[in-house]
Structure 1
Amino acid sequence: MGKKGKKEMETSKETFDPLPVETKAPATVVLLLNSQEEDVLVKACEAIYTFAEKGNENKVSLFEVGALEPLCKIISHSNNLVRRNAIMALGSMSTNGEVKNALKKLDVIPSLIEKLSNEEDVVVHEFSTLCLASLSVDYVSMAQIFESNGLPPVIQLLSSSDPDVQKNSLEIIFNLVQDYKSRQAVHEFGGMVPLLELLKSDFPVIQQLVLKVLQNLTMDLETRNTFRQEQGFEKLLEILSNQDFSDLHSDVLLIVANCLCNSETIHSLAEDGGLAKVMDFILLPSVPEIHSNAIKCISRSAQSCELLHEHGVEKVLVELLSVENVDVNISTCHAVAAMSLHQASKDTFRDLGGVAKLVESMSSESLHLKEAASAALSNLTHDKNNSMTVFEVGGHTLLIKQLSCSCPKTVANSASTLCNMAEQVKIRRGIWSHGVMEALVEPLKSTDSQILLNSLQCLALLACDSEARVEFQSAGGLPPLVDLLRSHHKDVLARACLAVVGIAIDEFPAVEMYKLGALELLEEINLSVNRRNKFSKLATTALLKSNLSVKYSLTGHLASTDIITHGFYDAGKETWPS
């Protein structure tokens, strides 16, 4: 029997028939993302997208089973359909906060920016921009988009035919232009033209986003110039003239306010009828927010007060001070403060009863309104007639109370206003009689430089009265005043020295300040090249004039104007601190 030969095995060249895979488990679908087969990837990404679109819980589930990392790789796949479905899945998931935080760590931004090229279809653009819009709310991601040159392609997509792409691109730009460098880049890359074109969009959300972007862009001078050159004002006036766009009017007025920062723009707006249009919004009853923003336009254009004065703006503003809306009142006070830099407006506000109404506003429960009203009064009282009006309606008592306010700006403004008023003798006596010296003690302990500057100036002026000086000492004002001689703020130090000059007129406070170390501090100041000032020598002289025994001990002589009354003694020779 012969040997049985081995039968050769035949190798089949056929493949499996298509194997349908059905699963309801997200983890199983995520495993399919590692497949090498394009058909499998297409279906897996499509399933993930459909699942993610059903809600946030599904997006979190996909994240927890590891969908993010493979999706981030597949969005760069060579197959167009795989790439598109993958970016749809990733874009949908990115709208969830937890997923978005995880995406920031995967360095996916450069790949997303690549998907914004003209070669990609509109669906890829839509979901790539959606993903970038979600990420760009974070400062680190915002910086990475900018550094990866993401702005140029995003600006280009503003001209896309797809409204979703436009909306997502606008959101990215809005997030980025919070930063100055991005605002400059949008201008340099020609973003102004497509932005203005989108104001014609049929979608209100797109129009509103454009206006919000323009609010940020028009903060910069160069961008404002381009805005004017591209007929931006004309486009805004068209919106303001159309009641169908009333939901946009508030944001439009904020852009106008930004642009009214130079006289050329203001005069141009006046010639084009824009200023009259803004005045219409102030005059006619409207939504408080629109009212407030129209008034902000007046505040920004205050450098052309003469032009505003010619339009009778003061009368309108005085009327608005009586409107029962705090936000409108606050905006009005800011406008009054701005216009009060012009003498004709100062007089007009007084004649129309505006000064008295501002004093009334100081009684408001709103801290913001008190702050705004005190700023307006501070500017108005540089005029002596306005100071007298404030005094006659009892404004000084309210201002003195505000020296203990929790708002630093209100305290600073109140001290400034009292200082302006105290330049008149009649008013000064009235202010002093209502306890202002005691009220000034607490502001002198502040760390806010403007509060200190204004309070010290007010103190120096009120110290002209001997009774006021006594009251200041009795209220415990000398220790914080002497302590301010340690300040390294040049202007605060100078005004502290000036206040010491005024207080040291009387012997008792002068002796008390000496005991508190004022003389040693003043000598240190006088020996310092950086800290000495025109009042520090005067303060030293004033202290010594009221301490003749100390002066004789330190200098070895007295001047012919030094009159010894009582208590003089020779303590022996002392030396100045070195």
Structure 2
Amino acid sequence: SSKTTSDDFSESSSESEEDEELTERRTETNSDLPSEYWQIQKLVKYMKWGNQTATVIVLCALRDFNLAQETCSKSTKNKEAVRRAGAIPLLARLLKSPHENMLIPVVATLQECASEPSYRVAIQTEGMIEDLVKNLSRENQELQMHCASAIFKCAQDKRTRDLVQQYGGLEPLVSLLSHSENKQLLAASTGAIWKCSLSMENVAKFEEYNTLEILVKLLTNQPEEVLVNVAGALGEFARKPANRVTINNCGGIPPLVNLLTGTNQALLVNVTCALGACASESKCMGTIDSLDGVRLLWSLLKNPNPDVQASAAWAICPCIENAKDAGEMVRSFVGGLELIVNLLKSSHLEVLTSVCAAIGNIAKDKENLAIITDHRVVPMLAKLTHTNDDTLRRYLAGAVEHCCTWGTNCAMFGEEGAVAPLVRYLKSTDPAVHQATALALYQLSKDPNNCINMYENGVVKPLVDMMGSTDEVLQEAAARCVRNIRLLALANEKARYG
């Protein structure tokens, strides 16, 4: 055998020594790459130029490497090269094979490549979703795992989610949850269920299979990879009020609150989203509060990850809205109000948006509004008013509206230059921005200087138009703002002409 190896490789080693020297130089200049990378380079070179026996030996040698490592052929470039070479239609054809030993590497390749958007589109358009769903019902757990994993990656797209339901894939995914001993299969199936539950019509189907109760049982004694997916799915299920009650009744709130003390960033994001959705239900909120869950959510505002900060701030909003004594609860968090106001310095758009939403709720309590005013919430909000993002505009305007009701805040917003940018919000095409802005402008119009500023920036015409809106809240806010501007004008005329 060793003689054959030597002879076979000698045929392919007639390349110039300059080639070897070039490889050595590359090694020196790319010292950050591991030695395995260069060893694979050599082996591939032999495979290119060697005969069949050399190729087989090289392939055997390659199996000794950890090919799941990025530097060792799990490469984005390779995935793209495979796609360009026309592999996708060939894989689609092989996916119809009845032979499991053929299907496993085919589906494994697809699920690995499905991390790339171009593959996800191709898997859908080449009609592979039907075959992936069909193979979920086979007895081979490795094959089931790869199929579920491919669906997990592809189901971010609504069309794919619809196809999974159309081909009857939801029930087989739920049945895979019974294999709790196979953690890879469990991670893949819970991931697929999470992404499929992004569509509320799929959630309705999942409810028929008692999926929610099964998922709640998976909130303990599972790997983090599984927990991330389970929490993500529960967050989607909890968008329906009835499911929030079910989560609470099944004992799902305590394990979710317990997970708030972890460090996995993706898990924290999903858990906070799930708890935030549940907090909209008063009974769930009572359970969260009794477990000190709101304090734990608040502490996540100190997390260095902006995604965690944002999801925690969003979760805090319904907690404040539904707590029995929200004002006192918020004040009980030492340094909590200063912490949330300081997040207005963030450069992360979603953090700013969620914090503005939270501040709008906090400011409904006069004592807390006084405290955040002392922490300079007014100039910090005013500084953000130049944003062009409509979602931030909506929640920022809401925060301005509620903060205007304390002391000299209304006049201070004008002094800090917040009025003119807010008037420009009325040009937005988003009705929610119109309503929030009109409410803020009405509060600001209680200060004479703000009225003058609004009038000079052309606020009257858009507000008059909005007085004819079908949105009664917008109608009334626009009318009251115009009334305040008009009353000021009449007072000035009376003072001038007597």
Question: Structure 1 length as normaliser, TM-score?
Answer: 0.63
Counting matched residue pairs gives 435
Structure 2 SS opposite 1:412: helix
Q: Name the residue aligned to 2:485.
A: 543
Distance (whole Å) between structure 2 residues aligned to residue 154 and residue 320 of structure 1: 42
Q: SS at 2:446's partner residue?
A: coil
SS of 1:382's equivalent in the other structure is: helix
Deviation at residue 510 of structure 1 after TM alignment: 2.4
Distance 2:420 2:344 in 1: 18
CA distance in 1, matches of 2:12, 2:342: 74
Structure with more contact order per residue of length (Cα contacts < 8 Å, sep ≥ 6): 2
Matches within 5 A, 1:5-404: 56=41, 137=80, 141=84, 150=90, 152-157=92-97, 159=99, 161-162=101-102, 164=105, 167-168=108-109, 178-180=119-121, 182-183=123-124, 185-186=126-127, 189-197=130-138, 199-201=140-142, 209-218=146-155, 220-224=161-165, 226-228=167-169, 231-234=172-175, 236-240=176-180, 242=181, 245-260=182-197, 262-270=202-210, 278-284=215-221, 286-302=222-238, 303=240, 304-383=243-322, 385=324, 387-388=326-327, 389-394=329-334, 395-404=336-345
Match of 1:523 in 2: 461
Q: How many percent of aligned residue pairs carry the same amino acid?
A: 14
- Are 2:343 and 1:406 equivalent residues in the alignment? no
Matched position secondary structure for 2:417 = coil
Deviation at 1:333, TM superposition (A): 0.9
- Asked if the contact 1:227/1:233 (under 8 Å) is kept, the reply is no
Contact 1:488-1:531 at 8 Å conserved across structures: no
Question: Equivalent residue of 1:348, what SS?
Answer: helix
The 8 Å contact of residues 266 and 301 in structure 1, kept in 2 or not, is answered as no
RMSD, aligned α-carbons: 4.3
CA deviation map 1:398-430 (0-9, x unaligned): 222222222212211121122123334444344
8 Å CA contact 1:256, 1:297 repeated in 2: yes
Whether the 8 Å CA contact 1:199–1:210 is kept in 2: the answer is no
More deviation, 378-387/368-377: 378-387
Aligned to 2:418: 477
User: Counterpart of 1:509?
Assistant: 450
Q: Which consecutive residues of structure 2, in runs of 5 or more, have no partner in the other structure?
A: 1-10, 17-38, 63-72
Task: Give 3-state SS (helix, strand or coil) of 1:362's partner.
Answer: helix
Aligned equivalents of 1:139, 1:495: Cα separation in 2 = 51
The structure with the larger Rg is 1
Q: 1:525 to 1:168 in 2, by over 3 A?
A: same
- Shift of the alpha carbon at 1:315? 1.7
The within-5 A match list for 1:461-500 is 461-500=402-441
Structure 2 length as normaliser, TM-score? 0.72
Q: Would you say the 8 A contact 1:505–1:546 is kept in 2?
A: no
CA shift, 1:330, in A, is 2.8
> Which amino acid in the other structure matches residue 539 of structure 1?
C
Give 1:476 shift. 3.2
Amino acid at match of 2:294: V
Residue 441 of structure 1: CA displacement? Answer: 0.8
8 Å contact kept, 1:177–1:183: no
Offset at 1:294? 2.8
**1:574 counterpart residue number:** none
Task: Identify, as 1 or 2, the structure richer in helix.
Answer: 2
Partners of 1:198 and 1:210 within 8 A in 2: no
- In structure 2, C-alpha distance between the alignment counterparts of 1:191 and 1:417, rounded to whole Å: 43
Give the direction of change, closer, same or farther, for the CA distance of 1:424–1:209 in structure 2 (3 Å limit).
same
Q: Identify if the C-alpha distance between structure 1 residues 134 and 197 changes in structure 2 by more than 3 Å, giving closer, same or farther.
A: farther
Secondary structure of the corresponding residue to residue 447 of structure 1: coil
Query: Residue 441 of structure 1 contacts residue 475 of structure 1 at CA under 8 Å; is this kept in 2?
Result: yes
* Residue pair 1:396, 1:431 contacting (<8 A) in 2 also: yes
**Structure 1: segments with no counterpart, 5+ residues:** 1-21, 28-53, 68-84, 96-129, 553-563, 571-578
Shift of 1:150: 4.8
Secondary structure of the equivalent of 2:233? helix
What amino acid sits opposite 1:257 in the alignment? W
What amino acid is aligned across from residue 305 of structure 1 in structure 2? R
Residues 250-259 or 305-314, more deviating = 250-259
* Aligned-pair CA distance for 1:300: 2.6
